[in-house]
Every structure is written in structure tokens, then in C-alpha cells.
Structure 1
Amino acid sequence: MEANRHLADALKEAGLTQNELAESVNDYLRSVGREGTVSDRTVRHWLTGKTRWPHPRQREAVEAVFGCTAGELGFTPPAGRPSPTRTEDPVHRRKFLTAAVVPLIAARPHAVGTTDVIRLRSGLDALTALDASRGGHEALERAALAGAAEALDLQKRAASQRIRQRLFSMAANYTASAAWSAVDARQSDRAQGHLNRALYLAGMGKDPVAELRVWNSHAMLAVHRGEFSQAVDAGQAAQATAVTRRDPLFASLAHARTAIGHSTVGDRQGALRSLGHAEDALAKASLEESRPSWVAFYGPAELLAITAIVRDDIGDSAGAEAASHRALAAIPQQYRRNRALATLQLALTQLHQRDVDQACATAEQVFALMTGNPLPGRMRSYLGDFYRDLTTLAPDSGTAREWEDRYRSEWSQAR
């Protein structure tokens, strides 16, 4: 008897337990007027290979949950029996599988279960991918708030207390996405309100990962507002969340965010100590472990980008430049906004070493990287920092004047 690795992989990717898959299958069966009798034992038989070809209605339901065929999930019919074609209503199945972003689809009338959570998670992943490419903007923020509203509406009809908590967690993460979009767009007041709401929802969902996500954004918002001691406090609050004791990657992110806070208040030793803790924790983390999509940006490349910021803040511009080059060599291409920000940080480190011509040439690359999309507010603000430093350090440089003309032109187009 051979274990069904395809189904096991699908379960892992969806973040489902055996019992949750059983609930999802039963939800689907009830939604089409059939009795839901699948148990966690049934799923165990599927996984171990004891049941190689489930009952037709069960196959239909499990295909709907995962959005692929029984064969793709590792199920095989008995020898000599051809795989039947699907008999379910294709219109119903499309509705069941749709993962909405904007507009979100109306909730189904049956009791809300795991499949609703999966659908909401898919929409959240789509928003995260959009942010990675384009950055924060109002349409993304509105979509995230709509997702949060749907999750909160669905929790009123949840099939169990555990499903209610998962939907509160979904609402927290959607709201945190809206908050992050506002942070990136430099809409500080809106971001603050969203973060406060997300923290409450994360508590309702008993979700320490969402709590860390909120404190991470709180720390970034505090830096943008010039509230540097609060950035340290938020980073330390992130360190105190339960997930940092279970997963060193999250611990590393919290320490890295605290390092930036220390560097902004001029605490050189505190900044370097926190960077060291971040590096040590990341060395212990498994980068292959399944985690929420929002944290996919963080790893060795992002830690190097943060290191560049910290070292530039504490006056080690040469060390910051080296870290920036290493970060840019490692940041994946799909993180276009992050690559543009790391490029701009490289330009700042070069400028702070008085290499004006090279700094201006590097800063020019930011506009090319973001071609086709408006510059997010946070990036425009950092470009403003570069412009101010440039006019202070090299007011009479011809290269500087040429860059200033380009900057003014791009700034007017970015509004």
C-alpha cells in the first residue's frame, strides 16, 4: 500500500489538517444538497493509500476543494476502469472555486466552513502579489478592506468556533494588508486606524502571526512619522509574540525591524546587537517551511537590505553600500518595488560617501524599475530624501542639476 504523496502535498500547500479537509468536503456536499459523511478517518485512508479511488461524490467534492482533478491529487481508478468525466454542475463548481479580490463574491447560504477560509486566503495571496509588484495604492487598500468585511460577515455563520477564529484571522490579515498599502502610500492616519483594527481582530482570531505582522507595520509607520522610540517599542512587541518562539524566521524579522528603530534613535550598539540577533535567528530558519504569503518577502536578501539601512543610519556608509550590492544580487525579480527601494538605498550610501556621479546614475535606475506604474508614496518620499541630501552635499554639481531636472519631471508624473 503506497501513500498518496500528491494529496499530502496538496493538503500542506492549502494549510489544511485531515479533519479540516473532511469538513471542507462535507461543506461542499451539503452545498449541493447531499449528506456530508466524510470523517478524518476517511481522509487518512486516502492519504495512506488504503482508499485509492473514493466514492464519486467524494471525488467530486475533493476536486472542488482543491480545484484540480482526482488524478492530479494522486487518486487512481481500479485496473481496467477508465476515469469518468465529471458529472457536477460546472456553473456551481466555478462559483465554488472562485477566489475573489474585487469584487468579492456573495457568501453561499450553507454553513460557513474551511472552503470559505481557503477562498479568502486565495484572495489575500492575490493582493500580496499585487503589492509586491506595484506597491501600495488606494484600489489595493479598498480591496483588502472588502475582504476583511466579507470575512467578518461570514464568521457570523461559521460552522464551528474554530472556523470563527480562522475567519477573524482572515479579517485581521486583510485589514493588515490595507494598513500596509496605506503605509506604502504614505497615508499615515489611515494606516494607523487600520493597524489598530487589525491588532484587535488578530486577538479575536488568536493569531500570533497576524499580531507580529501588525507590529512589524507599526514599526515601519513609526519610522515614517519620525516617532523613532515608538519604532523600537513596536519592534520589541513583535519580538514578544508567540510565533517568534516557534519560528526563527519571524524572530529574525522582529529583530531586524528593532534594529532599524535603534539606528534611527542613534543607538549604534543596540542596532548592531539587534542585527546580530536577526542574522543568528535567520540562520536557524527553514526557508522551505510553509508560511503566509505576506512574509515571503523576508529572507537573506531582505535582511541585507535592512542591514544597508541600519549601517547607513549609524554612519557606516561603506558597509551599507556593500550590503546593498549583496541585497540587489539576491532580491527576486518579482519584488520590483523592493528592488527599487534597495537601489535607492544604494544610491544614498554612495551619495553619503560623496560619490555624486555614481549615486545619481544609481538613483536613475529607480525610475526605470518602476516604469509603467505610479511611484508609491513611500518611494517618492525616499526620493525626496535623496534629493535633499544631493542638493546639500553637491549643490553646484552638473550631474546633480541634471538629476534634479529628472526628479522634478518624474515627481510631477507620479502624482
Structure 2
Amino acid sequence: MAAAMVFAGAAGPATNNAGGQLDDWHVQTILEVEQRLYAQDRRYGAVELNQLAITAVAQANRWLRDGRYGEQVGRRLQLATGALSVTAGWLALDSGRTTDARALYTEALVCARHADDPALEAHAFGCLSLLAASTDHPREAVSTAKVAQRAAAQLGSPRWLSLLAMREARGWALQSDRTLTERALVRAWHLYSQGPSDADPDWLEFFVPAELAGLESLCRADLGQYERACAGAEQTVMLFSADHARNRALYTVDIALHHARKPRPDLDAAVDAALRALGYLSDVKSDRLRRALDTVASVLSPYERTRSVAGYLDLHRAATPA
């Protein structure tokens, strides 16, 4: 993807003069770039956008560091840069660049503290919880989710709190604590049932019922409840509309993994789901999907003498050449 597709229109009087007088135009420029990155993520995938996002964050930070601006513009610049850092952090995480993701989420947290903004603080801590779960740090996943919930408690968005309760539940599940996982899951569903709110941030639009069910299915798998995990992931795939192809693909991979990881693996069901997920590769540009499919192949490889598994592994090698 050409850089111009992200930065088109982002040229103004002080773009190349970081030490100049900054105003709301610069704030809007940062926000527009953040929105373009978020929108293009589905179409192009995080790998192609990752470096562009880091470059954009660096530009925003140069404005913050070297520019001249008043207190109000400065606060808006901090908030815009924090939002951009969160999006860049997600792109880094989705690309498997966890060190970059941590640095970017931490940068967003610094912006939140400078701006004294609980919403950005809650968002940054919620993202750090997701990162911790993704990198096998479950205690950190719980602690950061709890801090995020405290920050978000005053914002008037039950669904935001629901998502953060799900983040906490994942941390407990990764520690095999069934009781605390169940409590967090019940809280997440209860909060979600309170419905949308005018206080819901725009980025929360991804948190639809399908995603709620999918996040619970991951917790069920972490607890070894693979039948429930399979059922939840299947429900998630059915609930997502066709324009959420990447989400459907990733949860279909989860279905394959859940079947393969049962105490008595259901290899036919695992292969069926894996084949469905493999079929998304032509339309979904996602390094995360490729890594997930590699994980499926790894989990299934001990059963390669089974005809259906051997056939799938051949197809996987052909579709994902090294």
C-alpha cells in the first residue's frame, strides 16, 4: 500500500516545520491519519500498515516535542497522538511485533496522563491487558484490565466496561481460575445487556454480540472446556456478517484448534474447520491469520498419518509457502 493512501490530504502549513506554531489543523491531521489507518486495516492488513503507523506517530511526537502551542491545543494534540498510538499499537500487535505494541500502548498511556483524560487511559490500559494475554502474562492481563475498569467507571459506557470485564476474564482463564473467570464473564454479559450508550466511543463499534461470544469462547478453551469453546466459536462465526471476513476466519481457526485440542481430538471436525479457514486466505490479508493457520498445522501434524489430516497439511503447505 502506498504511503499516500494513508497520508493523502495530510499536507499543511507546518507539516515539515515541527517547530512552528501548531493549531487545530494539526490535531485534525493526526486524527484523520488515525482514522485512515483504522479503516484501511481491514482492507490491507496490519503488516502493510504497521510501518506507516509508526512513521505517523513519530511525526505527531515531533509536533508535540518541538512545536509551539497553547494549553488547549496541547491537550488536543496529546489526545490525538494517544489515539494514533493506540491504533499503531494494534497494528503492531496484529503483525506479531509485540515489543513495538507495548511501546506504543505505553506512549498512549503517557499521552493520557499528560492530558488527564480517563477515556484514553482506560483505552490504553485495556490494550495493555490484551497484549499481556497475547504474550502469556495472565497476571498482568488481569491487573491492567482492573486499572482500565477503574478509569472507565466514570465514563457512562456499560459496553466499554463489558469489554474490559472480558479482558479480565481472559487473564483469569489463562491462570485456570474457573471461579474468577466465571464471575468476570457474568459481569461482562450483564454489562453488555444494558445496551449501547451515547458515551460509547466510536472505536467500540467492533464489540458486537458476535465478538462477545467469541471472547467467551477463548476463555472456555483456556479453561479446557473445549466443547463449549467450539459451540461459542461456531456461534460467533454465524453471527458475524460477511463483511467481517477476517473475524470469521480467525474464529474458524479457533474452532479447528478447539477440536484438535480436546482430550479425545475430533480430527474430522478440526480438519473441516481448518479447510474453511484456509479458504479465507485469498480474500483476507492478515499475517495473524497466516500465523494462526500455521498453529493449526503444528497441532495437527502429530496425526499426519490420518488421511484427512495429511490432505489438509498438503493444502496448507501449498497455500502458505515459506
Normalising by structure 1, we get a TM-score of 0.68
Residues 217 and 407 from structure 1, CA distance in 2 versus in 1: closer, same or farther, beyond 3 angstroms? farther
Give distance in 1, aligned partners of 2:43 and 2:162.
Answer: 24
Which residue matches 1:308? 217
Give distance in 2, aligned partners of 1:230 and 1:398.
Answer: 42
Out of 135, 140, 145, the position equivalent to 1:230 is 140
Greater fraction of residues in helix: 2
Which residue matches 1:193? 103
Which residue matches 2:255? 346
Quick one: which amino acid aligns to residue 140 of structure 2? Q
Match runs of 1:95-174 below 5 Å: 101-102=6-7, 105-108=10-13, 112-137=22-47, 139-154=48-63, 156-158=67-69, 160-174=70-84
Give distance in 2, aligned partners of 1:166 and 1:133.
Answer: 29
Give distance in 1, aligned partners of 2:62 and 2:87.
Answer: 18
Residues 209 and 410 from structure 1, CA distance in 2 versus in 1: closer, same or farther, beyond 3 angstroms? farther
Answer yes or no: is 1:391 the counterpart of 2:301.
yes
Quick one: which amino acid aligns to residue 101 of structure 1? V
Answer yes or no: is 1:361 the counterpart of 2:263.
no
Q: Which moved more, 1:365-374 or 1:306-315?
A: 365-374
Quick one: which amino acid aligns to residue 304 of structure 1? A
The answer to whether the Cα contact below 8 Å between 1:247 and 1:285 also exists between their aligned partners in 2 is no
Task: State the shift of 1:181 in Å.
Answer: 1.0
Task: State the shift of 1:225 in Å.
Answer: 2.1
Give distance in 2, aligned partners of 1:100 and 1:211.
Answer: 30
Task: State the shift of 1:230 in Å.
Answer: 1.7
Task: State the shift of 1:103 in Å.
Answer: 5.7
Which residue matches 1:203? 113
Task: State the shift of 1:348 in Å.
Answer: 2.0
Which residue matches 1:332? 241
Give distance in 2, aligned partners of 1:368 and 1:206.
Answer: 46
Residues 369 and 395 from structure 1, CA distance in 2 versus in 1: closer, same or farther, beyond 3 angstroms? closer
For these two proteins, the number of residue pairs brought into alignment is 310
Residues 328 and 372 from structure 1, CA distance in 2 versus in 1: closer, same or farther, beyond 3 angstroms? closer
Out of 186, 192, 217, the position equivalent to 1:276 is 186
Residues 107 and 243 from structure 1, CA distance in 2 versus in 1: closer, same or farther, beyond 3 angstroms? farther
Which residue matches 1:260? 170
Residues 271 and 244 from structure 1, CA distance in 2 versus in 1: closer, same or farther, beyond 3 angstroms? farther
Give distance in 2, aligned partners of 1:233 and 1:312.
Answer: 21
Q: Which has the larger radius of gyration?
A: 1
The answer to whether the Cα contact below 8 Å between 1:259 and 1:272 also exists between their aligned partners in 2 is yes
Task: State the shift of 1:201 in Å.
Answer: 1.6
Residue ranges of structure 2 left out of the alignment (5+ in a row): 15-19
The answer to whether the Cα contact below 8 Å between 1:337 and 1:370 also exists between their aligned partners in 2 is no
Give distance in 2, aligned partners of 1:176 and 1:306.
Answer: 20
Q: Secondary structure at the match of 1:381?
A: helix
Q: Secondary structure at the match of 2:7?
A: coil
Task: State the shift of 1:372 in Å.
Answer: 4.4
Give distance in 2, aligned partners of 1:175 and 1:362.
Answer: 35
Give distance in 2, aligned partners of 1:409 and 1:125.
Answer: 36
Which residue matches 1:181? 91
Match runs of 1:216-227 below 5 Å: 216-227=126-137
Match runs of 1:28-39 below 5 Å: none
Give distance in 2, aligned partners of 1:235 and 1:226.
Answer: 15
Residues 141 and 293 from structure 1, CA distance in 2 versus in 1: closer, same or farther, beyond 3 angstroms? farther
Residues 100 and 389 from structure 1, CA distance in 2 versus in 1: closer, same or farther, beyond 3 angstroms? closer
Give distance in 2, aligned partners of 1:387 and 1:375.
Answer: 17
The answer to whether the Cα contact below 8 Å between 2:170 and 2:181 also exists between their aligned partners in 1 is yes
Task: State the shift of 1:304 in Å.
Answer: 0.6
Q: Which runs of 4+ in 1 moved over 6 A?
A: none
Quick one: which amino acid aligns to residue 183 of structure 1? L
Give distance in 1, aligned partners of 2:299 and 2:235.
Answer: 24
The answer to whether the Cα contact below 8 Å between 2:126 and 2:145 also exists between their aligned partners in 1 is yes
Task: Give the structure, 1 or 2, with the largest relative contact order (CA under 8 Å, sep 6 or more).
Answer: 2
Normalising by structure 2, we get a TM-score of 0.85
Quick one: which amino acid aligns to residue 106 of structure 1? A
Task: State the shift of 1:379 in Å.
Answer: 2.8
Give distance in 2, aligned partners of 1:298 and 1:340.
Answer: 17
Q: Which moved more, 1:261-270 or 1:345-354?
A: 345-354
Residue ranges of structure 1 left out of the alignment (5+ in a row): 1-98
Task: State the shift of 1:243 in Å.
Answer: 5.2
Residues 142 and 395 from structure 1, CA distance in 2 versus in 1: closer, same or farther, beyond 3 angstroms? closer
The answer to whether the Cα contact below 8 Å between 1:208 and 1:243 also exists between their aligned partners in 2 is no
The answer to whether the Cα contact below 8 Å between 2:85 and 2:108 also exists between their aligned partners in 1 is yes
The answer to whether the Cα contact below 8 Å between 1:104 and 1:146 also exists between their aligned partners in 2 is no
Question: What are the Cα deviations for residues 85-108 of structure 1, in whole angstroms up to 9, with x where unaligned?
Answer: xxxxxxxxxxxxxx9823663333
Q: Secondary structure at the match of 1:105?
A: coil
Task: State the shift of 1:279 in Å.
Answer: 0.6
Give distance in 2, aligned partners of 1:383 and 1:213.
Answer: 29
Answer yes or no: is 1:380 the counterpart of 2:285.
no
Residues 145 and 319 from structure 1, CA distance in 2 versus in 1: closer, same or farther, beyond 3 angstroms? same
Answer yes or no: is 1:321 the counterpart of 2:230.
yes
